[in-house]
Copies of this chain bind each other. A is one copy, B any other.
Amino acid sequence: MTDKKLDRRVQRTRQALKDALIRLIPEQGYESITVADITSAANVNRATLYMHYRDKNDLLLRMIDDELAAFASELEPPDPSKLNNAQPSEPLVVALRHIAGRADFYRVMFGSQGVAAVAVQVRHTLAAISTQRLQYLMPQGSGQSAPVEISAHFAAGALIGVISWWLENDQPVPPEHLSRYLMGLIAPAMYASIGLTLPQRPPDAPSSGD
């Protein structure tokens, strides 16, 4: 889609660069990789990278964009019954399997040697998806925006937190189990978010003083 009517050489070059970057990140972390490292791993001249990307950061971010676009398009329209019943959300399992497949790469990207921009972008994408789903599930009349966004970023952050833990510990549980655990945690929170936007017990005792 992105590279549709492009010179074959261009396609080959870009793919080689992306592959090289993904290969190198687990080996030495992102920051310490130089453009020369990438291009020599891709068997391409250093200047060639600059024909296609602004710098190595641009290369990385475009790769992440592709990943996230693929993720987003994999997700079917949400089905309330599934969330309701806290059944394993198929898309989540698919995503976790994908991540497990590139575990070395994602472990670095979400770890101390990672890139903040990637985590932020992933969080925003997940939050956008969550927002969409929550609005789909939400009772029609209610239009309060802040709580929905909060819930969405809550869910997105929680996912990233758990996935990071999962990767840091070398995926101690299979994707299917992790997915079930996750749904068991997210579902009640989201349910609470939809059913009532304030804590169940409204604070009848106002916080005295401030």
Partner-B contacts on A (CB < 8 A): 85-88, 93, 110-117, 119-121, 123, 127, 139, 142, 144-147, 149-151, 153-162, 164-165, 169, 172-173, 176, 178, 180-189, 191-193, 195-203, 205-207, 210
Contacts and interface: CB of A to CB of B under 8 A. Distances in A.
A185 to B, nearest CB: 4
Q: How many copies, total?
A: 4
A40 B184 CA distance: 52
Nearest to A141: B206
B192 A188 contact: yes
Given A160-B157, A161-B123, A188 B198 contact: yes
Contacts of A199: 86, 180-181, 183-184, 187, 200
Contact of A165 (B150, B187, B207): B150
